[in-house]
């Protein structure tokens, strides 16, 4: 039997300080391997290893592709790369974005659950939207342990709140208590793997091959999932619907994946971009019409010039009407739509 010694941790907005607090609460001799995904810009230098190494807890470094997994180490997803786990080593890939991020939390959690089953402890910290919820659900399905930072103390509560709403969480803790809890749980002996059902296994295997950019694996994605009426905001591909318990998410045939929350956020952001693009195109039309009007006026063709100037005036009015829509448009997400009362009810169910 193995110990529960595979710890996967995900965070986004507000998660930098939370990660530091968790790691500083660990004993330096912890016999576990820790894998971290923290959302960051692709252009950002991976500073997290240096910051964590200064804490004097466990050695930390950006993970490298095909690196061997060793206990007592912290592995961090490099900027613009997914972090995945296989039986004895790590994969670092530039697979399709998930929930609009690379690295994303869900691919790490999913690969850990699929490979190590009951040995996995999943931790969701501060962050916006709900990356990590799907992966935490699979961790629980395969016998692992699920921990979330108490949403009431998280800098951005969406990620822990959504995980709490959708997944049966084992421990809801202030961030200062998560490190000691990990030390306690990692000493427990468990079975290697708790397999899912056949359908879940096929889907999980397919999604891991997509994240790994396995060109030799032909994934019959749409044979496993139903098609939705929605298109991928990233590439305009058709989105298939994936059901996990009572929740749904989406993946296109090129590989991009979205939770319902991240899809809603992406679509509303794209709407704003489209409105601005429409305003630009209409303004260019106005400029071209006026330019043609000037051309006719210079050539002593006042009637034609007046026609083009009138059309430019009409186009300008239409562009102003479209531009007036922009202040009323709002980028939104399910998390923003959720009422304070609903969140309060969920916290009450959790014992708060």
Q: What is the pLDDT of residues 213-266, one digit of tens each?
A: 876 666 556 565 688 999 999 999 889 999 888 889 999 988 899 998 899 888
- Which structure tokens are listed for 42? 């692709």
Catalytic center residues: 12, 39, 131
Banded model confidence at residue 174, pLDDT cuts 50, 70, 90: very high
Cβ atoms < 10 Å from Cβ of 191: 11
Tell me what the mean pLDDT of segment 152-169 comes to.
Answer: 94
Regarding beta strands 189-190 and 247-252, do their DSSP bridges make them parallel or antiparallel, or are they unpaired?
A: unpaired
Question: Is the pLDDT reported for residue 32 higher than 90?
Answer: yes
Cα 135 from Cα 98, distance rounded (Å):
11
Burial of 101 (0-12, 13-18, 19+ CB in 10 A): buried
- What pTM does this model have? 0.84
3-state helix/strand/coil string of the chain: CEECCEEEEEECCCHHHHHHHHHHCCCCCCCCEEEEEECCCCCCCCCHHHHHHCCCCCCEEECCCCCECCCCEEEECCCCCEEEECCCEEEEECCCCECCECCCHHHHHHHHHHHHHHHEEEEECCCCCCCCHHHHHHHHHCCCEEEEECCCCCCCCHHHHHHHHHCCCCEEECHHHHHHHHHHHCCCEECCCCCCCHHHHHHHHHHHHHHCCCCCCCCCHHHHCEEEEEECCCCCCEEEEEEECCEEEEEECCCCEEEHHHHHHHHHHHHHHHHHHHHHHHHHHHHHHHHHHHHHHHCCCHHHHHHHHHHHHHHHHHHHHHHHHHHHCCCCCHHHHCCHHHHHHHHHHCCC
Cα 116 from Cα 190, distance rounded (Å):
10
Q: Which of 111-120, 253-262, 328-337 has the highest mean pLDDT?
A: 111-120
User: How confident is the model at residue 296, as a pLDDT?
Assistant: 95
């Amino acid at each position: 039997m193995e110990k529960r010694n595979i710890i996967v941790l995900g965070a986004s907005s507000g998660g930098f300080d939370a990660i530091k607090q968790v790691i500083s609460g660990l004993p330096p001799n912890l016999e576990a391997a820790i894998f971290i995904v923290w959302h960051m810009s692709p252009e950002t230098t991976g500073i997290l290893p240096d910051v964590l190494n200064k804490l004097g807890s466990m050695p930390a470094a950006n993970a490298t592709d095909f690196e061997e997994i060793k206990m007592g180490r912290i592995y961090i997803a490099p900027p613009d790369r997914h972090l995945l786990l296989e039986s004895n080593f790590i994969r670092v890939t530039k697979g399709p974005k998930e929930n609009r991020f690379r690295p994303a939390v869900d691919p790490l959690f999913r690969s850990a659950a699929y490979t190590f089953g009951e040995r996995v402890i999943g931790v969701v910290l501060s962050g916006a939207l709900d990356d990590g919820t799907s992966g935490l659900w699979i961790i629980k399905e395969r016998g692992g342990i699920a921990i979330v930072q108490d949403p009431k103390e998280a800098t951005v509560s969406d990620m822990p709140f959504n995980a709490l709403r959708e997944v049966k969480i084992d421990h809801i803790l202030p961030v200062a208590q998560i490190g000691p809890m990990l030390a306690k749980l990692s000493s427990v002996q468990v079975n290697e793997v708790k397999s899912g059902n056949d359908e879940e296994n096929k889907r999980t295997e397919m999604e891991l091959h997509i994240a790994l950019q396995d060109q030799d694996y032909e994934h019959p994605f749409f044979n496993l999932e139903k098609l939705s009426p929605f298109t991928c905001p990233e590439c305009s591909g058709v989105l298939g619907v994936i059901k996990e318990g009572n929740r749904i998410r989406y993946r296109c045939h090129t590989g991009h994946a979205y939770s319902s929350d991240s899809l809603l956020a992406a679509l509303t952001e794209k709407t704003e971009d489209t409105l601005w693009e429409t305003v630009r195109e209409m303004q260019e039309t106005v400029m071209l019409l006026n330019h043609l009007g000037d051309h006719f006026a210079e050539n002593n063709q006042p009637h034609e010039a007046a026609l083009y100037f009138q059309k430019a005036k009409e186009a300008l009015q239409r562009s102003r009407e479209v531009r007036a829509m922009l202040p009323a448009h709002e980028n939104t997400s399910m998390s923003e739509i959720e009422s304070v009362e609903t969140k309060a009810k969920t916290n009450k169910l959790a014992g708060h």
